[in-house]
Amino acid sequence: MAIRGGDRARGASSDGKIQTTVEEFKKWLMSFDSNKDGRLSRDELRAAIRSSGAWFTANKSGRGIIVADADGSGYIDEDEIDGLLDFAETSMGFKFYC
């Protein structure tokens, strides 16, 4: 599965957001875990945001880490990805469905 701003893999909703399921989003997001350590760094999150077609990726990746990083480690692990769902809808242009 590919989620990109240009092709909107699951189609775009009427408001132009990328439509996907939560599970597909998590799988897509973890595909940016370039060192395969099971967590996302700010740079890895920035790469995901950039690939979604969003603007201001450095600012958004920093905010995403702050929003989702519950344990303060500076990384988002698989248990913290749920904290990114609202952020993804408001800042990254995603819309989730069942």
27-68: per-residue pLDDT in tens? 999 999 999 999 999 999 989 888 887 777 788 888 899 999
**Strand 39-40 with 18-20, pairing:** unpaired
Structural domains of the chain in order of their starting residue, each with its CATH number: 18-93 (1.10.238.10)
Contact 87/61 with Cβ under 8 angstroms?
Answer: no
Return d(Cα 7, Cα 79) in angstroms, integer: 29
10 Å CB burial of residue 68 (0-12, 13-18, 19+) is buried
Return d(Cα 59, Cα 22) in angstroms, integer: 23
15-26: per-residue pLDDT in tens? 677 899 999 999
